[in-house]
Amino acid sequence: MGLTGRAVRGNCDFISKQPYEQLCEAGDKKLFITHGHLFDVKMTTKALMRAGAEQEADIILFGHTHERLCEYVDDPEYEKPFYLVNPGSISMPHDGIPTYALIEIRDGDILINIAHVYS
């Protein structure tokens, strides 16, 4: 099952009717998707990781910082490991490198790539 058409509301989406967060399934994996501003991700990802772990997410996908990140978190503080992913930004990357994320879930495996956009 693909996640085409899934969206969450961000801090500048004033008239959007989208939710601020979603829990989605792809294959046998759970994805916790949020823009991130309500979790103060520019300062720390602790609250975001707690929220995703409470949802038993396999992947926590967020934005807001416009900085790419792909980290595997296997910490005894959380019941199970997960991936913490920020695709960065194509149009306004804070490090000057336009990026997006490709997430593939196949046969129970997760493959995540942060792809660079070259002009």
Tokens representing 61? 């996908």
Q: What is the CATH number of the domain that holds 33?
A: 3.60.21.10
What per-residue confidence (pLDDT) applies to 68? 96
What's the confidence (pLDDT) of residue 3?
57
**Cβ burial, residue 115 (10 Å; 0-12/13-18/19+):** middle
Domain membership of residue 6 (yes or no) is no
Q: Where in the sequence is the domain holding 50, given as residue range(s)?
A: 21-116
In-domain check, residue 13: no
Q: Which residues of the chain are modeled with pLDDT < 50?
A: 1
pLDDT digits (tens, 9 = 90+) for 56-90: 999 999 999 999 999 999 999 999 999 999 999 99
Residue 14 domain flag? no
How many domains in the chain?
A: 1
> Cα separation of 81 and 98, whole Å?
28
